[in-house]
Each structure stands twice: as structure tokens, then as C-alpha cells.
A and B are shown apart, each in its own frame.
Chain A
Amino acid sequence: MYGFLTIMQLTFLEMRRRRIVQIALACGAVCLAVFATAIYLVHQYAHPARAQSLLQVRIFLQLQTIAGMYAVNLMCATIAIILPVDAISGEIASGVMQTLASKPIRRVEIVLGKWLAYWLLIAAYTAAMVLGVVLVMRLITGFSQAHVPAALGLMTLQGTVLLSIVIAGGVRLTSVANGMLAFGFYSLAVVGDWIEQIGAMMGDSGSRYIGTAISLLSPTDALWRRTIYMLEPPMMSQVSLSPLARSAVPSIAMVWWAVAFVVGALALAAHWFKRRSL
């Protein structure tokens, strides 16, 4: 337990010293500033005083929030992959891990200590960015987004899935191969989402099954679709303004599957790392 905390502290210190945290925060701040500027300009154009109906304004603001969340989601997913990509593989390749693992510490503590440190950063970063988008919308347009905690939880879970894939991959692959694998998982999920959505719109059950199977293999985009579902009010899909086909909304079971996916990936990482020659 003590070794686990030491590894966690080391990982935090490393992230801070390598200016990873600072750069991630700066990029996030710039993105939020750009988003705020865009919303401000758009809001000047689409102000309720310009004879639009309240429904139109409401839908317009909702779509803007989802667009902001989409950017945040993309950024958080990228950070969840890039940040820990050499956390284990890099230390194995450089030989740092030999000295660490020769100490009286369980290898699983090294894996979990690193994972938790990165998870805390990714969770905090996702929270800051999501709340930033909500705050920008609130301050500039007065729009209050509902179901923010649920959306935040789903987006954090997506980052957690990607982080766990990267940690598990890092035990067996080089840093570059590991990054490619993680982005492959993420891209696969996006493709699966398209297939499932198209299948749902066309009523093609075969495509939907393929999409669902891909989501099981890589559940990240399914979590994003569930996030949109949580964020948007039901009326949007009723008036066909949702970016999401209603019948392609992932169920709560997919969320639990993503949780199980994380546990499985970590168990695999611990198992592989225990057996790995250093």
C-alpha cells in the first residue's frame, strides 16, 4: 500500500516537473477562451430579441453546448491517450523500471499507482473543462445545462477506458505502438458509432448489431453517445434536431460494460506486468 502511494506521488511529481499538467491546463484554457468568444459572437446574432421563438433559441443553445462538450470530449480523450502513453513502456525501455521493480514493491502497485495518478488528473481535467463549458454558456447566454453530473461521469468514464487501454498496452508494447493501439481503439469506436447510427436510421438491424459489437470491443464512443443523450432534452430528437438517432442510444448496460472493461484492462495489465521480463 505504501509503495502504491509512493508510485502515485512520483507520477504526480513527474507530471508536474515535465510540465504536462501546465501545458494541458493552458491548452484547456485556450480552448475555453475560444469557445467563449465564439458563443459570445453567436449569441449576439441569435439573441432572443431577434424575433426567434424560445424553442428555437433553446435548441440553438443546446446544440452549442453539445458542440462545446464534443470539443472537450475530444480533448479529454486525446489527453487520456497521450498523457500516460509512455508511463510504463517508456520506463521499461529506458531501464528505469528495473530499479523500481527491484525494490520491495508488488508490480501491481506500480501499475495501479500510475493508473490512479493519471486517472485523478484526467478526471480533474475533464471536470474543469466540462464545468468550463457549462459556465461559459451560463454566463454568456444564461443557458442552464441539465444532467451535468451524469454527463461528466460518462465523459470521465470514456477517459478512464482509454487510460486503462494505454496502461495495459504499455506493459507489452513500445510507446509508439501503444499510442497507435489506443487511437485505433478510439477510431474503431467512432466507426462503430457511424455504422450503428446509419443502421438505426435505415432500420437495418445487421448494421446495428455490427455497431453494437464494435462498441463492446471499444466502448468509448458509445459513452459519448450516451452523454449526448443525457445532455439533450427529449424534444430535440422529437423534432429531429438531435445529432443522435434515438434508437441508437446505448443502454445503461453499456455503461456497466465500460466499467467492466476498465476492470478487465487493469487486471490484464497487472497480470502481464507481473510476468514481464524487465
Chain B
Amino acid sequence: MTAAPASAEAAIETRALRKEFGAHVAVADLWLRVPRGEVFGFLGPNGAGKTTSIKMLLGLVAPSDGDARVLGAPLGDRRVRERIGFLPEHFRFHECLTARELLRLHGRLQGMRGSVLERRIDSLLARVDLSEAGHLYLRQFSKGMLQRAGLAQALIGDPELVFLDEPTSGLDPLGRVLVRELIEELRAGGATVFLNSHLLGEVEATCDRVIFVKQGSVLHELSLRQPQQLVRAELRIDRLDSITLEGLKVFGRDLRSSNGTVTLQVDSEDVMPDIARWLVGQGIAIHALGTRRKSLEEWFIEVMGEDQGPG
């Protein structure tokens, strides 16, 4: 194991985290730094090692190599788990419990008790719209209701760090709005949210930053709060020679040209009049000029490439 990272600010910091199951490498070399208070998206295709990574951070799976700190403590630290909430990808539960009993159980395991716990249960049941169903056995719940109960379970200890593994799974549109609102509330309360979801629209709407992982290694990092990373200029002009393309590179990055259309990533839409003026000055006719925001899905496909197979 390498020496522990020293940063006190990060909610999560990993260094070369690795997990092997026999000959299968689930997580190859994970380097992460998630600042406190950030809503962080962890994206990748199926089998990319996302869930295994979360389990390592929670102490459910021991890493084969590497090092990590969560809320300033080494992996597996029991005390620090009092400050962590977790909604597993496939949330399972004791079906013989009522929703209220489930929350009471998990609240007690978090070290809560008495009237403080009961008030917290009331508040969470109301927040996830299960107040009327608190007395029902979980086996009587629909999938969406179970997911809501699972969310309440993850939040019972008023956590500083919440791992949400596919939180919108099984939820209807109203449930998805609820998840989005809960994440916003967590952000407003200063909590860190570690979100793993295949619903990229949800991620785009809620996350401050995302990373793309494959085979347990980070391929790309993207800040969703810096729009310049997402804006691309698109133009159709009547001259696409090398001098024109070189000249356009002054206005942005990642210039691409195909089928008579040129695209390039620009810092903001403010640069568009400058591009138009330069093209006119060069005597180039402009057939179309505009900007397009690149969706997270497009980023995902671009970063992951055509091969979307597991890990």
C-alpha cells in the first residue's frame, strides 16, 4: 500500500485503487478526488467497475492494492461510516419489516435512538412521500416505493457523504424529480453526493462534475458547471482549405471538419461574432453559423468509443 494522501478537504481521495477477483480485474487503477460538497457523477458502461469501486470506498470489498481515504479516514473505518449514507444499486431489505421499522433499524445502526430518531423517521417518510405507507410491510410495496424507502434509509443518519448507486432505478418521473430535489437539498446542506447512474440526463441535471471510467480507470473528467466544456461552434462555409481551418483554430479547440461542416469547442457563445467577422474579412461566404451544447450522452459515446462492451 502506498502512503495515505494528506488532503483534508477531499471527501474522497483514491490513489491507484485496484480490485481483482481471481484473474478478473474489476478495477484496474482508480485515481479520484472528490471535494467536499460536490455532487459527483461516476459514469461508465456496464462492467466498468463502478459498483466495485463504491463497495471498496464503503469498506464492503477490500482493495487488492492502492489506497484511499473517505472523509479523511482510511478505507473500512467504522466511525466514519456514521457520516455516510448508501443506497445500493439493487436495494434489498428485510421484507418482513414495515417502512418505519426499516428506518428505525438503520437509524439505530447509525447510532441514533429515542425521539431524535423517531422525528427523523417522520421527516424522511414525509420527504419521500411515504408517510401514509410507513406502517405497511415492505413486501407490500411497489418497486418505486421500495426505492423511496431505500433513499430514506440512505439519508437516515443525516450523512455528510451519500453514495447513490442508480437511485432512479424503478422510479416514475415524479420519483426522479424527487431524487433530483433530494440531491439539491443535500448539496445545499453541504453534503457530498457520489452518484452512479446510467440516466445521463439525470446526471447532467444534478452533478457538478463527472468522470468517465472504463475497466476501473478514469478516461476523462468533465466539469458540468463550466459550460465552455460543453459548447461547440458549428459553421458551414464555402471554403474549407487548410488556411481557413488553421485560422479558425484561433477561436477554439478540438476543430473537426466533415461533410462541409466545421465544428470546434469554444469557451463561450461570445466568440461567435468574432468568428463571423474573421470569416467575412477573409472573403468566405457563411451559409450557417451557430452553437450547440454537447450533451453528456454525446460525451459518453465519444469518450467510451464505439465499443460499449463491459469494462
CB proximity to B under 8 Å, residues A216-233? none
Binds A, one of B38-46, B88-96, B170-178, B275-283: B88-96
Interface residues of B in 5-32 (CB under 8 A from A): 21
Contact B111 A104 (CB under 8 A): yes
Q: How far is the CA of A10 from the CA of B86 in the complex (A)?
A: 20
Please indicate the chain A residues that have their CB under 8 angstroms from the CB of B109 in the complex.
3, 6, 100, 103-105
From 51 to 74 in chain B, residues with beta carbon under 8 angstroms from any chain A beta carbon are 55, 58-62
- Interface residues contributed by chain B, number (CB under 8 Å): 30
* Residue A58, interface by CB 8 Å: no
What's the nearest-Cβ distance from chain B to residue A6, in Å?
5
Q: Which segment, of A90-98, A123-131, A236-244, faces chain B?
A: A90-98
Min Cβ gap A34→B in Å is 31
With contacts A95-B90, A98-B88, A275-B62 known, is A2 near B108, CB below 8 A? Answer: yes
How many Å from the CB of A99 to the closest CB on chain B? Answer: 6
Chain B residues 77 to 135 lying within 8 A of chain A, measured CB to CB, are 78-82, 84, 86, 88, 90-94, 96-97, 101, 105-106, 108-111
Give the A interface residue count (CB, 8 A): 23
Determine whether the beta carbon of A277 is less than 8 Å from that of B61.
yes
Q: Does B153 contact A (CB under 8 A)?
A: yes
Q: Which residue of B has the minimal Cβ distance to A10?
A: B105
* Known A13-B96, A13-B101: A104·B91 in contact at CB below 8 Å: no
CB pair A104 B93 closer than 8 Å: no
Q: Is the CB of B60 within 8 A of A104?
A: no
Residue from A3, A14, A95 within 8 A of B92 (CB atoms)? A95
Report if A278 contacts B (CB, 8 A): yes
A232-263 vs B: 1/0 string, CB under 8 Å?
Answer: 00000000000000000000000000000000
Whether A277 pairs with B93 at a CB distance below 8 angstroms is no
Residues of A74-109 at the interface with B, using a CB-CB cut-off of 8 Å, are 94-96, 98-106
* Contact B62–A104 (Cβ < 8 Å): no
B108 contacts A6, C-beta separation under 8 Å: yes
The interface residues of chain B lying within 8 Å CB-to-CB of A18 are 96
Please indicate the chain A residues that have their CB under 8 angstroms from the CB of B79 in the complex: 104
Q: Which chain A residues lie closer than 8 Å to B94 at the CB level?
A: 10, 14, 96
Distance between Cα atoms of A92 and B148 in the complex (Å)? 22
Q: Is A98 within 8 A of B62, CB to CB?
A: no
**Structural contact, A102 and B59, CB atoms closer than 8 A:** yes
Residue pair B55, A277 in contact (C-beta under 8 Å): yes
Compute how far the CA of A102 lies from the CA of B82 in the bound complex, rounded to whole angstroms.
Answer: 9
CB-CB nearest in chain B for A3: B109
The yes or no answer to A17 lying at the interface (CB within 8 A) is yes
Of B86, B92, B106, the most chain A CB neighbours within 10 A belong to: B92
Q: Are B62 and A99 in contact (CB under 8 A)?
A: no
Q: List 24 A-B contacts (CB under 8 A).
A: A6-B105, A6-B109, A10-B94, A10-B105, A13-B96, A14-B94, A17-B96, A17-B97, A96-B93, A98-B60, A98-B88, A99-B91, A99-B92, A99-B93, A101-B60, A102-B58, A102-B60, A102-B88, A103-B110, A105-B78, A277-B55, A278-B55, A278-B60, A278-B61
- Additional A-B contact list (6), CB under 8 Å, known A95-B90, A103-B106, A103-B110: A17-B96, A98-B88, A99-B92, A102-B86, A102-B88, A105-B78
Which residues of B line the A interface, CB within 8 A? Answer: 21, 55, 58-62, 78-82, 84, 86, 88, 90-94, 96-97, 101, 105-106, 108-111, 153
